[in-house]
Amino acid sequence: MNLTTLLIRSLSNQLLAVSGWLDKAEAFSAERGETPDRLLTLRLAPDMFPLATQLRFLAFQAQEPIYRLRGEAVPEAVLAVRQEGRDGGEKPGTWAEARARVTEAIHFLATVGADEFDSAADAPIAHELPMGMIFDMTGEQYVRDWALPQVAFHQMIAYALLRQAGVPLGKVDYVPHMFGYLRPGTAPG
């Protein structure tokens, strides 16, 4: 499998799953006569970021590797999404805004060329974190050891927060893309 396919397919699957969870969370809230905005402040622990932040970091982390692998600076508009996430505890914003960030990331991933990053697999990447730490990796190492785990982390925390709130999510919601591989006649009745 080439690097572009691995990265883009994985990130797209993850973001599309989250988009489905947001649909279910909206329906869950509507059934209770509530607004889903209240879910944005949920935290698993007092020292963890709330759902508002998890969704924005998820959207940021899905877009950042595209620019890094292209050798481009991450645009200010994408960095603003990361900052919204940092501010999410004090300014969670609205459900519509959080959902828009996830949708924007999905649309952005669809613009990546079919083999755009394949030649970057062995290219060096110096990944600098805001606190000054710098990691030296190849493109492949960056995708495998940083980009995909970062998105998976924020996706998993968002899932846990929504489940904790009572949103009816299950394993099939976490990996809905797997149904494209389901052998006919093998689904439980």
In the predicted structure, residue 1 carries a pLDDT above the cut 80 = no
When pLDDT is cut at 50, 70 and 90, the band that residue 129 belongs to is confident
184: left (phi over 0), alpha (psi -120 to 50) or beta: beta
Q: Which residue from 104, 90, 84, 92 is spatially nearest to 36, judged by alpha carbons?
A: 92
Count the alpha carbons within 13 Å of 123 in the hemisphere toward its beta carbon.
Answer: 14
Mean pLDDT of 94-108: 98
Q: List the domain range (segments joined by +) for residue 14.
A: 3-33+49-175
188 belongs to a structural domain:
no
What does the pLDDT look like over 5-60, one tens digit per residue?
999 999 999 999 999 999 999 999 999 999 999 999 999 999 999 999 999 999 99
pLDDT, the chain, mean: 96
Residue carrying the six token digits 């004090």: 90
Measured between alpha carbons, how far is 50 from 48 in angstroms, rounded to an integer? 7
Under a CB-based contact definition with an 8 Å cutoff, are residues 159 and 19 in contact? no
184 belongs to a structural domain:
no
The domain total for the chain is 1
- Where would I find the H helices in the chain? 3-31, 51-70, 76-86, 95-109, 139-142, 148-164, 171-174
40 belongs to a structural domain:
no
Give the pLDDT confidence score for residue 5 in this predicted structure. 95
CA dihedral of 149, 39, 160, 130, whole degrees rounded to 10: 30
17 belongs to a structural domain:
yes
What does the pLDDT look like over 59-87, one tens digit per residue?
999 999 999 999 999 999 999 999 999 99
185 belongs to a structural domain:
no
Mean pLDDT of 84-110: 97
58 belongs to a structural domain:
yes
In the predicted structure, residue 92 carries a pLDDT above the cut 90 = yes
CATH number for the domain harbouring residue 101: 1.20.120.450
41 belongs to a structural domain:
no
Q: Which of 3-7, 21-25, 88-92, 185-189 has the lowest mean pLDDT?
A: 185-189
